[in-house]
Amino acid sequence: MNSAYVWIVLTSLFSSLFFLTILALLCFFTCRLASKWQFSFGRSFGKAWTGGMIKMKVTAALFISFSCLACTILSKPNFPEKEKQPSYWNKWAQRTLEEALDLQELNKNIAKNLILFLGDGMGVTTVTAARILKGQLSGETGEESQLEMDRFPHVALSKTYNTDAQVADSAGTATAYLCGVKANEGTVGVSAAAVRSQCNTTFGNEVTSILKWAKDAGKSVGIVTTTRVNHATPSAAYAHCVDRNWYSDGEMPSEAQAAGCKDIALQLFENIPEIDVIMGGGRKYMFPQNTSDVEYPREHKHSGTRKDGRNLVEEWKIRMAHKKGQYVWNRKDLLSLNTNNVDHLLGLFEPGDLPYHLERNKEMDPSLTEMVEVAISILRKNAEGFYLLVEGGRIDHGHHEGKAKQALHETVEMDRAIHLTGQMTSMHNTLTVVTADHSHVVSFGGYTPRGNSIFGLAPRLSDVDQKPFTSILYGNGPGYKLTNGVRENISTVDYYQNNYQAQAAVPLQYETHGGEDVAVFSRGPMAHLLHGVQEQNYIPHVMAYAACIGQNKNHCPAALNHAPTLAPPILLAFLILIGLLC
């Protein structure tokens, strides 16, 4: 076992035990010797002296050996022993160098499959902290651990700003990394010429996404998310809407409806009518108002929201009845599907967003990894390949609520899904990209020692208010708390619990996004084109280029590009030749 982390935990436990043992033994022997001396001194000085000496020697020997053992344990560094050897680091670096040299032979294959993993709000701080958490969950110190995304050979930075916002939101950014065009915050699938919430600015400003480009090229396409399927990130893949909050017509102003704008749920089924796989939450937006929810029939807040009386799920089921379509709403039904017999899947597992991974109902709610496994099993049946958008959507929500533990566990779960994807596809024909839409104002620091729990305290008290502080803190958010006018002393608070809200510098009900660049990890055909510091809207252009879909196909092999136009003359010449020979 990679046991440095275990050492740290066990060291404190065993050292306390050893010290107690030593103290107990010392007391025991001293008392026994003292009483023996007292008892025997008068009778036989010489005999008692000899026996006392022997016992004192034994006591001293025991004391020394226990002290040595305790010192050995206490002086054990809180990192693996092998890291003391320069050879360890040199070998590691040389191995990495060999791998880097191999990358000089670029993968210029045509990507049959495209997968985009989008960690909503997964800034670089979140990635590093999730890596440490992943390592610590498997008993390591954590820092040396590797996320699956860390193993991707190519990395770029993406500038996330919206056309009208320095610190971006998830809607304008989704338009960038899905449609290839930067846009205004709050809008999906429309250019920056469209104005947020102004319905009449939609028309003529629609932009299409790589999901549509892939569908038009004959690929299967899918969307998997832990949020509502009509939330900001997925909706830019299929909808054109000037307001990300128009989830159903129940959330739209009547003027917008009168002006011809459509809600996002409706657009999910109408714009690209056969999205092959749709999985996530958002059930209530698909059912008529007051229709009780199948899972929470007594809770009115989960009832249908549609004012137009349409049942979009039922309509979908009818449309897909003869196309091997399946609708599921719970984990059991999802996992019992035989994907060989399913070509279209609609899975809506909650009325709103799916629960946090740490809190999901394991009977009813599938994990992100489980959803991705089913999605790829269905999509990969298409010989033309597929495009899949996977969103770890609740990383963002965890941070907004100041709940770093939730956010980091969401990230680790998305990383599990990335690992699974690597096992189900080949990097020779599948371009996988992992990125975020924007960051958050979360930080971790405080000169913590190696192997410190990622949710733990910094080793020293504040030298200003003399109180402890956690390594993870927020720049703003709901974790701001004063007790009697001063910063809360968290020594009596359980900062390891799932919903602990880390302290924040500025009070806000919801913590905000962060404005710095986010990472783009890529693996597979043309992954090397995702390099350097780029505008976020560059991402789908590279993905489309790699797959020979969309607007730039100049590099695609002539055989692939011109096969349909060359085929008739070749066929004609062949037929003439046959005719002549006959």
Return residues touching Zn ion (CB under 5 A): 396
Tell me the closest approach of the beta carbon of residue 121 to Zn ion, in angstroms: 5
Is 231 part of any known ligand binding site?
Answer: yes
How far is the C-alpha of 168 from the C-alpha of 454, rounded, in Å? Answer: 27
**233 is known to lie in a ligand binding site:** yes
**Is 240 annotated as a binding-site member?**
no
Shortest Å, Cβ 170 to Zn ion: 5
| Shortest separation between residue 233's beta carbon and Zn ion, angstroms | 10
Which one, of 394, 409, 329, 340, lies nearest residue 366 by Cα? Answer: 329
270 labeled part of a ligand binding site: no
Nearest approach in angstroms of CB 396 to Zn ion is: 4
Q: Which is nearer to Zn ion, 365 or 396 (CB)?
A: 396
| Least distance in angstroms from the C-beta of 440 to Zn ion | 8
Residue from 16, 75, 158, 170 carrying the catalytic annotation: 170
| Nearer residue to Zn ion within complex by CB, 380 or 513 | 513
* Closest CB to Zn ion among residues 293, 401: 401
Which is closer to Zn ion, CB of 396 or CB of 415?
396
Q: Which is nearer to Zn ion, 171 or 547 (CB)?
A: 171
305 annotated to a ligand binding site: no
Residue nearest to Zn ion (CB): 396
Question: In the numeric block, which tokens belong to residue 330?
Answer: 């719970």
Annotated binding residue 399: no
Q: 447: left (phi > 0), else alpha (psi -120 to 50), else beta?
A: left
CA 157 to each of CA 86, 393, 436, 477, 543: distance values in angstroms, whole numbers, following the listed order: 32, 20, 10, 26, 16
Minimum distance from CB of 386 to Zn ion (Å)? 28
- Annotated binding residue 437: yes
Distance CA 509, CA 78 (A): 38
Residue 223 half-sphere exposure, CB side, CA atoms within 13 Å? 33
Q: What DSSP string runs through 154-221? A: EEEEEE--BTTBSS--HHHHHHHHHHSS---TT-BSB-TTS-TT-GGGSTT-B---HHHHHHHTT-EE
Which CB, 208 or 406, lies closer to Zn ion?
Answer: 406
Q: Quick one: which of 70, 84, 76, 68 has its CA closest to 5?
A: 76
In b/e form, how buried is each residue of 308-329, taking b as 16+ CB within 10 angstroms?
eebebbeebeeebeeeebbbbb
Which residues, in sequence order, are CB contacts of 276 under 8 Å at separation 6+?
A: 220, 221, 222, 343, 344, 345, 378, 379, 382, 386
Q: Report yes or no: 150 and 134 within 8 Å, Cβ to Cβ.
A: no
Reply yes or no on whether 170 is catalytic: yes
Using CA atoms of 289, 295, 298, 300 in order, give the dihedral in degrees to the nearest 10.
-30
Binding-site residue positions for Mg(2+): 120, 231, 233
Binding-site residue positions: 120, 231, 233, 391, 396, 400, 437-438, 513
Q: Kindly list the catalytic residues.
A: 170
Binding-site residue positions for Zn(2+): 120, 391, 396, 400, 437-438, 513
